[in-house]
Amino acid sequence: MIKINENYLKLQASYLFAEIKNRTAAFQEAYPDREVIKLGIGDVTRPLPQACIQAFHRAVDEMADDKTFRGYGPEQGYMFLREKIAKDDFQARGADISPEEIFISDGAKCDNGNIQEIFSRDIKIAIPDPVYPVYVDTNVMAGRTGSHNEGRYDGIVYLEGSRENGFIPELPGEKVDLIYLCFPNNPTGATISKSRLKEWVDFAIENKAIILYDAAYESFIRDDDLPKSIYEIDGAREVAIEFRSFSKTAGFTGVRCAFTVVPKTCVAYTRNGEKHPLHALWYRRQSTKFNGVSYPVQRVAEAVYSDEGKLQTKESIDYYLKNAALIRKEISALGFECIGGENSPYIWIDGRSDSWKFFDLLLEKASVVCTPGAGFGKCGQGYIRISAFNEYDKVEEAMARIKEALKA
Ligand code: MLT
């Protein structure tokens, strides 16, 4: 008799964004005349930068010619892209990362979800709450947790975010082995200072732990004092793996390209206490299970680092940040407290009511889709997340409708 992985049965009924999609589809079916404005899932709406489009065309033409055609690429990604990343994203900010330490992939979600495979099943994991659900669910699937009780999985150390701590969790009060951090944060939009991040790096060094640092939203940072990479912090090369993505930076959600940095100095241990470089394990995992990102797409990602690419991606991010500023202003004017939206595309709003009820209210009364905070964990209850990814006039319209809906 074939048996299933019963860990899957511990998962909540559906993935958060799938549930939102279903509720929105049901609403649209019931009210086909109402125009729904989506400020839920963080999906970009602006087209790819021109520099990327031109690079795409050129690379497709190369694939049409037998002299320039390419088959399988290098497992870790093409050097032309890894060199640009190492230089512009890291070395230019004083972070000592080499091209050899970068792995090109098809998404930060996949890498964030897959990385746990290289760690033992019996490690102790610390995960923020509220949190991007992928970190939790992938560990549940792998059997690293007990069952789900009152909004929490047994076996996880939850790092609580709250209004009081500005959604920057305190260090865990116990020893943990693997720590998930995400800044600028999804879902709260909170950012972390270098000194606070240093505390986490020091904690990891002291506890022989590893930090999984999700920096998918770093391009929204406009405050020069904030770290864009964990490797701007001394000691992080020994204890941190960083995830980056072109999805939000350059509008690649439908193109698919991201990268993960595993420094060669980053180690974990065998049962006997022997050190093992994680770079070698991740390389082994990727070369067995992954065949890389297509050549044209890697050329498109390379174009993000050209002078025009940098200018055009910055323009797009500025556009979304303008949306975010408008959302913050309008929501605050309605008397709601919020954070985020300044160095982040997400605005985290205290709805002062049940998250899903607030979600339903905005959908039914304003035809606006947001994301209920409760979907990100117990500490998200009472909050909603509004995303700045949409056209400015749609955001304006959504804010006007929310104002009306809340008046009624
Ligand atoms: C989100 O809305 O949280 C993100 O778009 C989800 C993702 O990037 O996978």
In this predicted model, what pLDDT tens digit does every residue of 304-333 receive, in sequence order?
Answer: 999 999 999 999 999 999 999 999 999 999
Assess contact for 343 and 191: CB atoms under 8 A: yes
Query: Does pTM surpass 0.95?
Result: yes
pLDDT number for residue 142: 98
Q: What is the pLDDT of residues 382-397, one digit of tens each?
A: 999 999 999 999 999 9
Assess contact for 202 and 235: CB atoms under 8 A: yes
User: Does the pLDDT value for residue 13 go beyond 80?
Assistant: no
Mean pLDDT of 169-196: 98
Assess contact for 264 and 100: CB atoms under 8 A: yes
Q: Choose one of 19, 20, 39, 43 to mutate for the ligand 1 pocket test, by most ligand atoms within 8 angstroms of C-beta.
A: 43
Separation CA 230–CA 191 (nearest Å): 12
Coil, helix or strand at residue 368: strand
Separation CA 382–CA 358 (nearest Å): 8
* Percent above pLDDT 70 for the chain: 100
User: Does the pLDDT value for residue 179 go beyond 80?
Assistant: yes
The answer to whether the CB of 82 is under 6 A from ligand 1 is no
Task: Tell the residue nearest (CA) to atom 5 of ligand 1.
Answer: 42
Task: Tell the residue nearest (CA) to atom 9 of ligand 1.
Answer: 109
pLDDT number for residue 131: 96
The single-letter DSSP state of residue 341 is S
Residue 11 structure tokens: 């998962």
User: Does the pLDDT value for residue 97 go beyond 90?
Assistant: yes
pLDDT number for residue 15: 80
Nearest to 218 by CA among 317, 359, 339, 327: 317
Mean pLDDT of 80-91: 98
Residue 92 CA, ligand 1 centroid: distance in Å: 28
**pLDDT band for position 12 (cuts 50, 70, 90):** confident
pLDDT number for residue 150: 87
Handedness of CA 371, 375, 376, 380 (dihedral sign): positive
Assess contact for 343 and 226: CB atoms under 8 A: yes
Assess contact for 210 and 241: CB atoms under 8 A: yes
User: Does the pLDDT value for residue 177 go beyond 90?
Assistant: yes
Mean pLDDT of 56-60: 98
Assess contact for 233 and 93: CB atoms under 8 A: no
Q: What is the pLDDT of residues 256-282, one digit of tens each?
A: 999 999 999 999 999 999 999 999 999
User: Does the pLDDT value for residue 194 go beyond 80?
Assistant: yes
Q: How many residues does the chain have?
A: 408
Q: What is the pLDDT of residues 348-390, one digit of tens each?
A: 999 999 999 999 999 999 999 999 999 999 999 999 999 999 9
Residue 43 CA, ligand 1 centroid: distance in Å: 7
For residue 371, the ligand 1 atom closest to its alpha carbon is 2
Assess contact for 365 and 37: CB atoms under 8 A: no
pLDDT number for residue 407: 83
Mean pLDDT of 184-201: 98
Q: Which residues pair with 347 in a beta bridge?
A: 340, 386
Separation CA 361–CA 344 (nearest Å): 25
The answer to whether the CB of 41 is under 6 A from ligand 1 is yes
pLDDT number for residue 360: 95
Task: Tell the residue nearest (CA) to atom 4 of ligand 1.
Answer: 42
